A and B are shown apart, each in its own frame.
Chain A
Amino acid sequence: MTDKDVTNILVVGIGGQGVMTAAEILAQTAIVQGFDVKKTEVAGMAQRGGVVSSHVRFGPKVLSPKIVTGTADILVGFEAAEAMRWSDHLRPEGVAMVNTLRLEPPVVSLGLYDYPEDPIGAMREAGVNVYAFDAGAIALELGDLRLVNTVMLGAIADHLPFPAEVLEEQIVARFRARKPKLVTANEQAFARGRAAARAAGRAEAATA
């Protein structure tokens, strides 16, 4: 059975969205905090618009790199339907942090399959604790869609077993050396994501 001391974070989305980078930053932060870490993903064909999932596990000692269905503490969904696809991996009290972006694949455009009307509603109906907001809009407001990554990490910052500042520092440090211009944008993205998640949490509590 999964060790309760191990934190399981599942980051999901679509090839090219930055899912793996987000997972990498989470893993690096856990190292800084002195945890043993394992991180794995399904790559390869997934880079061609397929489903990408990255498992991040950390704790005093991590054995298997895979998160067993029903044991994830946090699900970070970069796209609404992908969050829905993976929601069975969350434990009952787990948190799903979801970007409301809808990305329809060609099989939907071609009329072969339907994209769910309301993926987030479907997750809530299944009893999932969902925090949903438009991370893309925040990123674009700040000037670059690529900031979605940082927005999503900011959003889960209150739910991690280490201080938000440690995670923020890991993100910002990446830019400080190579692209100092992006430091402020990432700090803002992190703060905005954190605030958006809190607001989403309050809205959730109000409707519950």
Chain B
Amino acid sequence: MNAVVQAVAETRHLLSGNEAVARAVWEAGVKVAAAYPGTPSTEILENIALYPDVYSEWAVNEKVSIEVAIGASIMGARAFCAMKHVGMNVASDAFMTQTLAGVVGGLVIVVTDDVGLSSSQNEQDSRYWGRFGHMPILEPADSQEAYEMVKGAFALSEELNSPVIVRMTTRVCHVKAMVTVGERETHEPAGFEKDPARWVLTPAAARARIPWMFERDGKLREFAEASALNRIVEGGDRRVGFLTSGPAAMHVQEAFPDAPLFKLGFSCPAPIGRIRAFAGTVERLVVVEEGEPLLEQELKAAGIDCHGKDILPRMGEMGPDVLLPAVKPLLGEPWEAPVGHRRQSLFPRPPTMCVACPHLGPYFTLSRLRNVIISGDIGCYTLGAGHPWNALDTTISMGASMGVALGMDKGRGATDGKKAVVAVIGDSTFLHMGMQGLLDITYNRGNVTVLLLDNRAVGMTGGQDHAGTGRDIHGEEAPRVDFVKLVQALGVKPERTHVVDPYELPTLFKVLRQETKIEEPSVIITNQPCVLIDDYEKHQPYKVVDEACTGCGNCLDVGCPAIFVTRRDKAVKPSGKEVDLAFVRIETAACTGCNLCVETCAPDAIVHAAPTHSVKFQ
């Protein structure tokens, strides 16, 4: 991790967009920063936490993170929060009111869009929040711009009396590029000034703010028209000109180096006047947007003729490989892709659970249960939908497993009458948004069995700490929530609350069977840590005794990626039925000795092996 915490002003460093944002936040004199981890935004707060003079925290969810930042801004401190695109949905309740109240200390929110869906449940365009919340959106294209725009956004926020969203995408967050850094400014909080007419948003107070907000809209438009963040990159070939923002601007320059380009840095509200003037200087205008045809529609509504999603894809990144074949035909130049080597067709390699993951047992168990409907959640739990478990029926959004399960229970028709409804959720996910759902299950007497898989980490994003781990963002000791007491406080009966070791399959089976038969809410909490965090303890690895392996393949159903097939065969049972056999080996170097496969092995063919060099691959 390159935090450049010690870097001196005017030095150049190779920084990811996220690291550059962290540096900018520190330099801008920010006092309070909060976030909930989410790809591709996670590293922003991880890096801010390395600067000792910024208060930083993992909040339980994005709404709370923005509330913390709002509170600090009201005190006059510069405040920051970061989240991924779907996190903004969670935060939006607080955010949509704050945009009406404005700020005291500069308030900047970085929202990161997962263009191309590398690890999210949807692809959404956060530029809409600017229109929705009547506030500015800035769009950096690389690390240097991310650094400059975030740093400048605090002053802009104070000047315009508005929160500012800096919209980044994966190709800014996770691209490393050269950045020249500066120094930290000091901004002492102005102190709290009582002003209930502004801060107590009763209908009467809020109503009075709306004309003020419309007035601000006008100011924002003037700012956008004048802003140096909106700039034209001249080009000699005026047959086509481009309007774009963010990393798409880099892709356009790469693909069409001679074409004029209007690059929007201050993209909301759009500087329609300058765009109209630019459109007049080129034969055709092409709007290149990663996400929705938002600008395209605004331009068309303003009577500016342009191409956009009529020639470009509606989803994914606008890389040179996408732009060239789409735009070249406009110029009457057929596009021929670079002659490389032919594409090879190959098996897919989807993400899977790690070797010895404590979730393997619960998903193996669920895959063996008949007549269950399983409501899943986001994070590593989603991987349970894959092979070999196929043990998830839904995944909607973070924490939704609870409410969806209750709805399934209440909405069941005659054909589903006897099916048990199980909800699976992780520890951090439960604290993020699951608690309220569980309360709804108990309050409304739902018949749902909840599996709360506590692995003491936000696993999918890299094992960050949260209110259930006993550590804070700096790894310092912190109060740890007691999940048993918590679920009981939410109305689960003590006799319906169980804590189970996820590596003990017989117990897991027994408890799950029992609870799915009982028609009231129950919670089964598992209690082993994520294999990627320091709390995880390795044991002596296992190997397979070749002569003893009968090829039954039961161990493969656990789904541990350290088990490999060495040979396949067929056998005929006494009943005449043909069965497939798969003889296996265990990659001893990867095995952590969790014992799960041993429990599934009927002929006791799996025995301890001498430890070898440890391998980290999953």
Question: For the complex, is A175 an interface residue (Cβ under 8 Å from B)?
Answer: no
The residues of B that contact A106 with a CB separation of less than 8 Å are 352, 387-388, 559, 561
How many angstroms between the C-alpha atoms of A82 and B24 in the bound complex? 37
- Which residues of B, 336-379, contact A by the 8 Å Cβ criterion? 337-344, 346-354
- With A37-B178, A68-B320, A106-B561: A50-B350 Cβ-Cβ less than 8 Å: yes
Kindly provide the distance from the CB of B167 to the nearest chain A CB, expressed in whole angstroms.
17
Q: Restricting to B370-398, which residues have a CB under 8 Å from any CB of A?
A: 380, 383, 387-388
Binds A, one of B53-61, B72-80, B248-256: B248-256
By a CB distance below 8 angstroms, the chain A residues around B69 are none
Question: Which residue of the partner chain, among A42, A64, A91, A126, contacts B118 with CB atoms under 8 Å?
Answer: A42
Spot the interface stretch: A13-21, A179-187, A200-208.
A13-21
A96-110 residues with Cβ-Cβ distance < 8 A to B are 103-110
Shortest distance from the beta carbon of B244 to any chain A beta carbon, whole Å: 12
> Whole-angstrom distance between the alpha carbons of A3 and B177 in the complex?
17
Q: Is B319 an interface residue (CB 8 A)?
A: yes
A50 touches B247 (CB 8 A): no
Stretch among B221-229, B422-430, B609-617 lining the A interface: B609-617
Whole-angstrom CA separation of A48 from B12 in the bound complex: 33
Q: How many residues of B contact A (CB 8 A)?
A: 65
CB contacts under 8 Å to A, within B177-212, are 177-178
The distance in angstroms between the C-alpha atoms of A24 and B13, with both chains bound, is: 12
Would you call B344 and A85 a contact (CB within 8 A)? yes
Query: How far is B321's CA from A2's CA once the two chains are assembled, in angstroms?
Result: 11
The CB with the most chain A CB atoms within 10 A, among B255, B349, B582, is that of B349
Residue B40, interface by CB 8 Å: yes
The residues of B that contact A69 with a CB separation of less than 8 Å are 321, 337-338, 340
Residues of A within 8 Å of B, CB-based: how many?
Answer: 69
Where chain B touches its partner, the secondary structure class is loop
Q: In whole angstroms, how far apart are the Cα atoms of A27 and B15 in the complex?
A: 11
For B12, the closest partner residue in chain A by CB is: A31
> In the assembled complex, how far is the CB of residue A56 from the closest CB belonging to chain B, in whole angstroms?
9
Asked if A111 lies at the interface with its beta carbon under 8 angstroms from chain B, I say yes
On whether the beta carbons of A68 and B338 are closer than 8 Å, the reply is: yes
Find out whether the CB atom of B119 lies under 8 angstroms from the CB atom of A45.
yes
Task: Report the separation of the CA atoms of residues A2 and B614 in the bound assembly, to the nearest whole angstrom.
Answer: 41
Query: CB-CB contacts of A1-27 with B at 8 A, as 1s and 0s?
Result: 111000000000011110000001001
With A43-B39, A49-B354: A81-B617 Cβ-Cβ less than 8 Å: no
Pair A44/B39 contact, Cβ less than 8 Å:
yes
Given contacts A49-B352, A88-B344, contact A39 B176 (CB under 8 A): yes
Q: Which chain B residues border A84 with CB–CB below 8 Å?
A: 344, 346
Instruction: Name which of B130-138, B275-283, B502-510, B562-570 contacts chain A.
Output: B562-570
B311 at the interface (CB under 8 A from A): no
A16, B352: Cβ atoms closer than 8 Å: no
Chain A residues, Cβ within 8 Å of B171: 40, 65-66
Cβ of B580 < 8 Å from any Cβ of A? yes
Near B by CB (< 8 A), chain A positions 47-85 give 47-51, 62-66, 68-71, 81-82, 84-85
When distances are taken between beta carbons in the complex, the residues of chain A under 8 Å from B582 are: 109, 111
23 A–B pairs (Cβ distance < 8 Å), ordered by A:
A1-B257, A31-B178, A40-B175, A43-B40, A49-B353, A49-B618, A64-B319, A65-B142, A65-B247, A66-B319, A69-B321, A69-B340, A70-B339, A70-B340, A84-B346, A91-B338, A104-B564, A108-B565, A109-B556, A109-B584, A111-B568, A126-B341, A145-B615
> Which chain B residues have a beta carbon within 8 Å of chain A's beta carbons?
12, 14, 39-40, 118-119, 142, 171, 174-178, 247, 250-251, 253-255, 257, 317, 319-321, 337-344, 346-354, 380, 383, 387-388, 460-462, 556, 559, 561, 563-565, 568, 580, 582, 584, 589, 613-618
User: Ordered nearest first, which 7 A-B pairs have the shortest CB separation?
Assistant: A70-B340, A44-B119, A70-B338, A113-B347, A48-B351, A49-B618, A64-B254
Known interface pairs A49-B349, A62-B177, A105-B350; 9 further A-B residue pairs with C-beta atoms within 8 A, sorted by A's residue number: A15-B617, A48-B354, A48-B380, A49-B351, A84-B344, A88-B344, A105-B352, A109-B564, A111-B568
